[in-house]
Structure 1
């Protein structure tokens, strides 16, 4: 695996990269063995990018199954403390760069604002209890949004993402602002989500993402990448609601699969997420040698 772009690898990642290069020296680059190496490296990088979200899901599931109801510390408060511990551990353990921490903060602010509104209008709800909350929103909720931001910014550098025909940043900010506003206003006026979805497809429809796995650079339409990430977030959402992190009205009488219509919401939320990440990592075009 090559050095990460722009010198953004953490000290731990540089040690892992040096170890990995030694193990991959002489590995085939063609044929089925070469493709297998690329696939394994792709999976390892994806797992590394997901570490924040994976740890959050793990503590949600473990505390749902094993934490005693009669414990002196409420589960909601425990989840807040564990989420803070994960974040601090990510920084102190050199698993996260300072730039990534800024993204986490941005996602906390945007996510918590949405949570406060959505719980107030009954879109979803949290189990009561504990003292570490704002209104009806336990403070660990912001870390779930931050996990999405952490994944996106880590993928940006782990795969050295480059883009051809990326839309103007000012246009992406306008669309993202419209999407964020619609999450609030559709409760009172017409829902414009499908108009905004069409705007996303028009704006990013011609954009192609270039990503380096190991020796090879692959390409994918960026809207396909958005959809794939949104799909896996929907899967994670099912795990989180099954663990009681939050519940939709249809789940109050017993858990059921989150409606797939939520996929559109997650797809649109992806656009907000991507635009926030571009405030820290500006989209770059492929190098001439890679085009």
Structure 2
């Protein structure tokens, strides 16, 4: 199942995906080699997110060559995606999945920035705004999906003791719905999180940094990814890409409670990817 999003990898990816047993590698040398390859694969999995957020942090608020900042970021995001497809760093199936994440994220952005909610805002002008949200915003969610898809392929991931797929889908739907409904009927994220905790308590992610498989509790992976997204959010708000109401006068750190929201979003994103792979495996579509 881990190969279903794989198609004619680039030369660099082929090297990272290659399996060459190294029985003579032991002790500190093995630790150093695995740590190095783990870092390289992580950086490669973050390629789209890294390039995109580098643009987010480097494009001046005044824009470039007369083009507004948000419009520049949309152009950059589209250019990165096109280049990754051309360079065989991303497959068309992966692009379809990332587009789905973009649409899901954009719908959430439209709701969260609407006049009656105003959880945050995009204060700058742009021609490519729709319902008050710049079109590049969906790529921030797509970046999370891109990372998980790429990491799955590069680390040859497997999940042991994965819960029934319908249960994972149910939790993912509850997570997404709660992002909307907590403004009206209360925030039930901790109840949903408790359900997710029980559902994935036995789940283990198996990954291969080099030639030996390693293990990590899946819940720990969710929390760690959520933490790094929360850090990226702090940097993004510092540069004024978007602002929470308490940041309009002066910047302040994003509340640590957002870490839990991002971790839940990772659970939802992971579930979508797992089910896309599961569906494709069942219908036997060639990669």
Q: If the length of structure 1 is used for normalisation, what is the TM-score? A: 0.88
SS of corresponding position for 1:160: coil
Match of 2:218 among 222, 226, 248: 222
Contact 2:113 2:119 in 1 (8 A): yes
User: Conserved in 1, the CA contact under 8 Å of 2:63 and 2:72?
Assistant: no
RMSD: 2.3
For 2:2 and 2:179, locate their aligned partners in 1 and report how far apart those are by CA, in whole Å: 35
- Do the aligned partners of 1:29 and 1:215 also contact (CA within 8 Å) in 2? no
Q: Does structure 2 conserve the Cα–Cα contact (< 8 Å) formed by 1:10 and 1:95? A: no
The answer for the alignment partner of 1:286 in structure 2 is none
Report the secondary structure of 1:244's partner residue: coil
Report the Cα offset of residue 31 of structure 1. 0.9
Q: CA deviation at 1:256?
A: 1.6
Q: How many residues align?
A: 277
* 2:72 counterpart of 1:42: no
**Which stretches in structure 1 are left out of the alignment for 5+ residues?**
284-291
* Within-5 A mapping of 1:227-238: 227-238=223-234
SS of corresponding position for 1:187:
helix
User: Hey, what's the Cα distance between the residues in 2 that align with 1:21 and 1:207?
Assistant: 26
User: Relative to structure 1, is the Cα distance of residues 175 and 26 closer, same or farther in structure 2, using a 3 angstrom cutoff?
Assistant: closer
SS of structure 1 residue aligned to 2:183: coil
Cα distance change, pair 29–13 in 1 and its aligned pair in 2 (3 A): farther
The aligned counterpart of 1:161 is 157
Which structure 2 residue ranges, 5 or more long, are not aligned? 280-287
Of 50, 55, 61 in structure 2, the residue corresponding to residue 59 of structure 1 is: 55
- Quote the residue 2:142 is aligned against: 146
Native 8 Å contact 2:120 2:244 kept in 1? yes
Structure 2 distance, partners of 1:48, 1:34, is 21
Name which of 10, 13, 28 aligns with 1:13.
Answer: 10
What CA distance in whole angstroms lies between the structure 2 residues aligned with 1:49 and 1:18? 14
TM-score (normalised: structure 2): 0.90
TM-superposition CA deviations, 1:233-265 (whole Å, max 9, x none): 111111211222211111111112111110010
Q: CA 1:40/1:184 → structure 2, altered by over 3 Å: closer, same or farther? A: same
Aligned to 1:268: 264
Alignment partners' CA distance in 2, 1:21 and 1:186: 46
1:59-88 deviation line (CA, Å, top 9, x unaligned): 011113xx6468521111111111111111
Q: CA deviation at 1:279?
A: 2.7
CA distance in structure 2 between the aligned counterparts of 1:26 and 1:152, rounded to whole angstroms: 27
User: Is the counterpart of residue 77 in structure 1 residue 81 in structure 2?
Assistant: no
